[in-house]
Amino acid sequence: MAEQTFTLPDLGEGLVEATVLEWLAEPGERIERNQPLVELETTKSAVEIPSPHSGVIVRLHAEEGAVVQVGAALVTFETEQAAGIVGTVPREEERPSRRVRLRPPAE
Amino acid sequence: MTEALVGEGRGANGAALVEMTMQQAINRALDTALREDPATLVFGEDVGRLGGVFRVTDGLQAAYGQNRVFDTPLAESGIVGLAVGLAMNGWRPIPELQFDGFAYPAVDQIVNQMARMHYRSRGAASMPITVRLPSFGGIQAPEHHGESLEALFAHVPGLKVVAPSDPNDAYRLLLQSIRSDDPVIYMEPKARYWDRRQVVLDGARAQAADTGGDPIGASRIARPGRHATLVAWGAMVHRCLRVAELAAEDGVDLEVLDLRWLKPIDTDGLAASVSRTRRAVVVHEAPLTAGLGAEVSSLITERVFCDLAAPVQRVTGFDVPYPAGPLEPQYLPTIDRILLAVQRTLEF
């Protein structure tokens, strides 16, 4: 288990800050990677930011309506296991689902 | 990296029994190789300071210094070219190509130089190179990070190709590859990096030459069974074991043969298993057409045709480029697709 803090990324086009419109997840909630995390508004547009990690949200660093600078902390996750720089750790069902049933051969 | 000593921590011949992930097992094999042979070198993109994008080379640069464990530019052809030059000068290189899809830029050096230098020099220059290649899919990574190149490399004369399926084999087969004087493509199943099991580590240095019993090219029966043989390698071995558990609920007893070495293929082991079960299903992640499943199917047919109760089935990826993350579960052989193929052999 490790805490990972996600900072407001460089939004491009010279934008230096963004306003938090709405958090789409709350502290204590488990979120999957790429699930919608927060809606931000810049002077250019409103964008939905997907979660960069899978894990439990520990802290939100900005209230709704607050202005966040690029590089400032946005949210802290507790992640189970980082896959590395690319990809996700595969999850395995305890009991895989199946539809095909077999009939044993005649002995 | 944290590891737990299991039980007494000592197996036969003073070898240590340690529970660890496949990442850690590969790390320990590299550590063992660097310690036992000062000619070994580990290099590649991000393997040094960062410790590898999957932490596989974590701590090695700190332990063995920047001259033996080092970062290279983002130039895969250069990485393998460097390995070829070093091997010609008496070194034992263990280069990493960071992802399967990044091996394509290095194919010229692998095929035109590394694979045939020994032949070209009439045996004067051996190529004791082990190319570590994190391979196959299953981690929902982007393009170029989920490819299965075993058929491509198995087709090249002069190369050996191996794909471990669990931590103990990962440790054992990597040391075997490194200690071999021939070039080996060592394909690491990324989807199994986090698989945690007991690993038998090398004991005293005196046993360093011992490769653990099985020679290069030996397969392994991962689960014995009598109704059909599932042939697989890498991450598909684990999937086939799960299929075998489900089949057992229906009264069907499946054998799972972990091929391990994709070149040379253990034709005897393959033939013996299928000769017993009389049915075979080959499972791989790579696309169907001209995949290694075709080779396995041919070998079975050539060797034990008269024992077969049904044609050999293949369950593979599709003949399309490897799909982006969310489609991966549909592309890789699913449990139901494998079960259906088994059913086809049972009903033939």
Token look-up 């008496």 returns: B90
Task: Write down the domain spans for chain B.
Answer: 4-207, 220-347
Contacts of A97 in chain B (CB under 8 A): 335
| Min distance B216 CA to chain A CA atoms (Å) | 30
What pLDDT, on the 0 to 100 scale, is given for residue B11? 54
Q: Give the per-residue pLDDT at A94.
A: 78
**Partners of residue B252 in chain A, C-beta under 8 Å:** 102, 104-105
At residue B109, the pLDDT reads 98
pLDDT at B2: 40
ipTM: 0.79
Q: How is residue B340 written in tokens?
A: 């259906």
Compare CB distances from A89 to B142, B194, B346 and report the shortest one's residue.
B194
CB A96 within 8 A of CB B242: yes
CB–CB contact B242 A83 (8 Å) = no
Q: What is the reported pLDDT for B107?
A: 98
CB contact under 8 A, A104 and B251: yes
Does the distance separating the beta carbons of B194 and A81 come in below 8 Å?
yes
Instruction: Report the mean per-residue pLDDT for chain A.
Output: 86
Fold of B4-207: Rossmann fold (3.40.50)
Taking the C-alpha atoms of residue B275 and residue B69, their distance in angstroms, rounded to an integer, is 47
Q: Which of A33, A89, A98 to mutate to test the interface with B (most CBs of B within 10 A)?
A: A98
Tens digit of each residue's pLDDT, chain B (348 residues):
444 444 445 555 556 889 999 999 999 999 999 999 999 999 999 999 999 999 899 999 999 999 999 999 999 999 999 999 999 999 999 999 999 999 999 999 999 999 999 999 999 999 999 999 999 999 988 889 999 999 999 999 999 999 999 999 999 999 999 999 999 999 999 999 999 999 998 754 434 444 457 899 999 999 999 999 999 999 999 999 999 999 999 999 999 999 999 999 999 999 999 999 999 999 999 999 999 999 999 999 999 999 999 999 999 999 999 998 789 999 999 999 999 999 999 999
The predicted pLDDT at position A89 comes to 84
B322 touches chain A (CB under 8 A): no
Distance separating the N- and C-terminal Cα atoms of chain B? 50
- Is A101 in contact with B139 (Cβ distance < 8 A)? no
Q: Which residues of A touch B140 (CB under 8 A)?
A: 87-88, 90
Residue A100 has its nearest CB partner, among B140, B145, B336, at B336
Q: Minimal Cα distance from A91: which residue of B?
A: B139
Task: Tell me the residue type at B285.
Answer: E
- Residue B201's pLDDT is 87
- Chain A residues whose C-beta sits inside 8 Å of any chain B C-beta: 81, 83-90, 96-105
| Contact between chains at B145 and A83 (C-beta distance less than 8 A) | no
Domain ranges for chain A, please list them. Answer: 2-79
Question: Inter-chain contact B55–A88, Cβ cutoff 8 Å?
Answer: no
User: From B345, which residue of chain A is nearest by alpha-carbon distance?
Assistant: A105
Q: Is B190 on the interface with A (CB under 8 A)?
A: yes
CATH class as words, domain B220-347: alpha beta
Q: Do B18 and B198 form a contact (C-beta atoms < 8 A)?
A: yes
> Residues 4-43, chain B: which have Cβ within 8 Å of A?
none
Nearest by CB: B250 against A84, A99, A104: A104
User: What is the average per-residue pLDDT within A70-88?
Assistant: 80
Q: What is residue B205's predicted lDDT score, i.e. its pLDDT? A: 40
- Which residue has 């045939």 as its token pair? B116
Selected from 2.40.390.10, 1.10.340.30, 3.40.50.970, 2.40.50.100, the CATH number assigned to the domain covering A2-79 reads 2.40.50.100
B99 — contact with chain A (CB < 8 Å)? yes
Cα dihedral B52/B104/B175/B23 (nearest 10): 30
On whether any CB of chain A is under 8 Å from the CB of B315, the answer is no
Mutation pick from B193, B315, B328 vs chain A, by most beta carbons of A within 10 Å, is: B193
Provide the annotated active-site residues of B: 145
CB B79 within 8 A of CB B95: yes
Those residues with Cβ within 8 angstroms of residue B295's Cβ, 6 or more apart along the chain or in another chain: B151, B154, B265
Q: Is A71 exposed, middle or buried (0-12, 13-18, 19+ CB in 10 A)?
A: exposed
Task: Note the pLDDT of residue B264.
Answer: 98
Mark yes or no for CB contact A98/B339 under 8 Å.
yes
Least confident of A45-54, A77-86, B6-15, B116-125: B6-15
Contact B227 A105 (CB under 8 A): yes
